[in-house]
Amino acid sequence: MGYVDEIYELVVNKNPAEPEFHQAVKEVLDSLRLAVDANEAVYRREGLLERLTEPDRQFKFKVPWVDDSGKVNVNTGYRVQFNNAIGPYKGGLRLHPSVNLGIIKFLGFEQIFKNSLTGLPIGGSKGGADFDPKGKSDREILSFCTSFITELYNYIGADIDVPAGDIGVGAREIGYMFGQYKKLTHSYEGVLTGKGLSYGGSLARKEATGYGLMFLVEEMLKCAGEDIKGKVCTVSGSGNVATYAIEKAHQLGAKVVTCSDSNGWVYDPEGIDVAALKQIKEINRARLTEYAKYRPKSTYHEGRGVWSIKCDIALPCATQNEVFLDDAKTLVSNGCIVLAEGANMPTTLDAVDYLLENKVMFVPGKAANAGGVATSALEMTQNSQRLNWSFEEVESKLKQIMVNIFHNIDDAAKRYDCAGNYVVGANIAGFEKVADAMLAQGIY
Ligand code: NDP
């Protein structure tokens, strides 16, 4: 059995009942095969893959909080610090009832390679809790966030581990956590990113993941001799990533005709109205059923269905495992030429294989959505410098980073005779730098 297969078996045996973590490790290891085989003797002796697939440390903690009726509730919080070979740990916090250790480990593992791909000095971590923010009042969110950070603050710091937002964590939650961190530590430091603009946040951070996704797609299409202008896109999700992917797609001349939430989806043949979407989701904090009030020609459908709509470019921006093999078949038969992952691991492994076999340009999340964490790292830089850059300056740096990421993954795929396979390209390009740093720093 080869080194890669041995390690995958080890991971499955050592981490039972964590299917998302197994899936992420399988995807990464399978595509590292060529790079690992070329250096197998050294990597084996150094235990490199054993070390890479085992988090440096993981915290699981109690989060008691009081709801508006005065009742005490208890959730479970997590932080998994996976690897800091190339910089302080960095990764988002997810608040969603589905959160468990396996999901946080899958996200933390992916984060190592994503952060490496940005070209910036940041290691990989992830955290969150099984708390459901839906339907909670501001005071309940404050109570939860205060309790969550009262434990988490022990393990983080501007040069140690810098959390950010993810599903269910936006500027409001980061603000509440930052306030409590300051109180507990008596220090004002860039310990969290995604902060509000009045207290150390970066312009363009909110937009960064969605904008970055579209910058990468634009560059990839350009290199393939295609123009993004006039292309029809389907997007899933209606949160942070989805909203700003739609906004930038429209600015670049494409047309996005769908979006969704966990209850249903909207089809708007004239193009999603971003102002209406922001009003519904960011201001009213309401459901997509309201969208038709703003756009009478749109239709709302319960359940799943975004991928049934004919498109050139598919952009899953909601959550993991939301594009299945059947969806991939429909996309291919409808003439889709690009699937770029705004969300983390939204496409199942068999669907990815099908898309690659059918020559769809597929970009995995660790490359396609790296603009968010890259801009978080730019926020850390601004905090360290005690400076604020303009929107244009941050956006132009973001664009350059996304263009570089595309060329790095494209080059890595070509170096290993896998031209056009950006799964291989992204994993190898992300891995090489981390492996080099780990080998240089001894055994830890
Ligand atoms: P948000 O919480 O802002 O939005 C998430 C969206 O996805 C909502 O529309 C939500 O619908 C929907 N959704 C969440 N869970 C499910 C589910 N189980 N089934 C169906 N729909 C679901 O999160 P973000 O936009 O920040 O994150 C979206 C994805 O992008 C995640 O995979 C995240 O890890 C990834 N990502 C985010 C980055 C960022 O900067 N924010 C950076 C890189 C990756 P509903 O409102 O009904 O819950």
Q: Using a cut of 0.85, tell me whether the model's pTM lies above it.
A: yes
Domains of the chain: which residue ranges?
56-189, 208-368
Q: So what's the pLDDT on residue 444?
A: 86
CA of 319 to the centre of ligand 1 (A): 5
Domains 56-189 and 208-368 share a fold: yes
pLDDT digits (tens, 9 = 90+) for 192-234: 999 999 999 999 999 999 999 999 999 999 999 999 999 999 9
What local confidence, expressed as pLDDT, does residue 123 receive? 98
Q: For residue range 349-358, what is the model confidence (pLDDT) as tens digits?
A: 999 999 999 9
SS3 category, 129: strand
Per-residue pLDDT of 284-328, as tens digits, reads 999 999 999 999 999 999 999 999 999 999 999 999 999 999 999
| Range 86-96 average pLDDT | 98
Q: How many residues does the chain have?
A: 444
CB of 364 closer than 6 angstroms to any ligand 1 atom: no
371 lines ligand 1 (CB under 6 A): no
CA of 3 to the centre of ligand 1 (A): 35
Provide the strand spans (E) within 148-247. Answer: 161-164, 232-236
- The span from the CA of 228 to the CA of 226, in Å, is 7
For atom 4 of ligand 1, the residue with the nearest CA is 239
Model pLDDT, residue 421: 97
List C-alpha distances in Å: 120 to 187, 312, 419, 439. 25, 32, 25, 19
- CATH number, span 56-189: 3.40.50.10860
Give the Å distance between the CA of 239 and the centre of ligand 1: 6
Q: Which residues pair with 355 in a beta bridge?
A: none
Out of 3.40.50.720, 3.20.20.80, 3.40.190.10, 1.20.120.10, which CATH number does the structure's domain 208-368 have?
3.40.50.720
Q: Which residues are catalytic?
A: 126
pLDDT at 77 over 90: yes
One-character DSSP codes across 291-350: HHHH-TT-EEEESS-GGGS--SEEEE-S-SS-B-HHHHHHHHHTT--EEE-SSSS-B-HH
The pick from 205, 262, 322 for probing ligand 1's pocket by mutation, whose C-beta has the most ligand atoms within 8 angstroms, reads 262
